[in-house]
Amino acid sequence: MDGLKIGFDAKRLFNNYTGLGNYSRNLVHGLNQFYRNQQYYLFTPKIKTNSETREFLNAPYQLVTSNKMPGGFWRTFGSTTRIKKLHLDIYHGLSHELPVGIHKTGTRSVVTIHDLIYKTYPNDFSTIDRKIYDYKFRYACDHADAIVAVSQSTRNDIISYYNVPEDKVKVVYQSCHENFKHPVDEATIIEVLKTYELPPEFILYVGSVIERKNLLGLVKALELLKNQETLPLVVVGGGREYLKKVKDYVEAKKLNRLVFFRHPVAFQHLPALYQHAKVFIYPSVYEGFGIPLIEALWGKTPVITSNLSSLPEAAGPGAHYIDPYRPESIAEGILKVTTQPDYAKKLVELGYQHVHQFDMEPLSHAIQKIYTSLLT
């Protein structure tokens, strides 16, 4: 099959620098790396230029924007005109949605669904946000020719909540930024620790500080261990009400010496923190996939995570699994991984073997296979 003409919803590729943006950049970059004979059209209402997006401003990528209508409106309702005029083979909505009328353009469509958190944890969202998400997600799933789920757990949720045919939903995992796959030299690590005034050894948490990710449960586990000379915890991530709740608990229980809140941390410094951490711990109760886990596994750091949702898929055999609802279980995991070096070493070895399935090349081929299957 000759090189395809593929369009992408690139709003988050240019304007988001966490999960959805990273996913978009990794996927498009990977396809171009392994399928250079294709044409890539990036649909975005707004462009930001920085070190993460600069690659996508030049050939072979072609930008598609609108000067005639508000960006959000164009993205949802107006971009179909350009899709049709360009005679695209495939249009891929990289973050939960497709333009209204996509099925009338003659272009085959794919949508990636990362999670259904607004369904599983509705209290985390306002009523209006839930209604908007439900309309957009449901419309995309109904009208897409294929749905990419980033984990089997998310696939199960899509089929359950939207009642779509099972053979329409394909699981293709995520990769992470290449920076996390390369060893960081000792001098850089020392400089990063100095920059953020961190202790020489620590447990690491990276992620938004929201209730679903269960940082308070982790802090309660540290409280149980405070008389056993446990390592301190470094928290990298922002938050609002729940972050205040955690900080208030730390203050009330006099755990300040054990918990270091550091936000923001420069993206380029994260690999050093992952690779130097004694343990990476991610006690979330629900994730669509869990990118921080594979960032830690690439860094050859032992992982502790929850035995729920997609987290066992992401971490595989390279993790010690805990019950996130029981601080005692989290504490037991910390104690075992930090005091049994042979066990920690085994986790690292198994995790590093496991994480290679999330490399860019196999995932790019899997996405390309979905595209070509829709055109044959």
Q: Residue written as tokens 């990118």?
A: 291
* Residue 68 predicted with pLDDT over 90: no
In order, the DSSP letters of 143-178 are H-SEEEESSHHHHHHHHHHH---GGGEEE------G
Q: Which residues pair with 40 in a beta bridge?
A: 6, 61
Give 157-189 pLDDT, tens digit per residue: 999 999 999 999 999 999 999 999 999 999 999
pLDDT digits (tens, 9 = 90+) for 99-116: 999 999 999 999 999 999
CATH of the domain spanning 5-175+359-373: 3.40.50.2000
Name the architecture of domain 178-357.
3-Layer(aba) Sandwich (3.40)
> Checking phi first, is residue 280 left (phi over 0); if not, alpha (psi -120 to 50) or beta?
beta
The pLDDT of residue 69 is above 80: no
Q: Provide the whole-model pTM.
A: 0.94
What whole-number distance in Å separates Cα of residue 203 and Cα of residue 231? 6
Q: Cis bond leading into 264, ω under 30°?
A: yes
Q: What is the pLDDT of residue 1?
A: 59
CB 203 within 8 A of CB 295: no
Q: Angle at Cα 341 formed by Cα 335 and Cα 346, nearest 5°?
A: 105
Q: Where are the domains of the chain?
A: 5-175+359-373, 178-357
Lowest mean pLDDT among 60-74, 211-225, 319-333: 60-74
- The mean pLDDT value for 34-44 works out to 97
Q: Given this model, what pLDDT does residue 18 score?
A: 84
User: What is the pLDDT, as a whole number, of residue 317?
Assistant: 97
Would you state the pLDDT for residue 123?
A: 86
Ramachandran quadrant class, 322 (left: phi over 0; alpha: psi -120 to 50; beta: rest):
beta
Q: For 228-268, what is each residue's pLDDT tens digit?
A: 889 999 999 999 999 999 999 999 999 999 999 999 999 99
pLDDT value, residue 2:
67
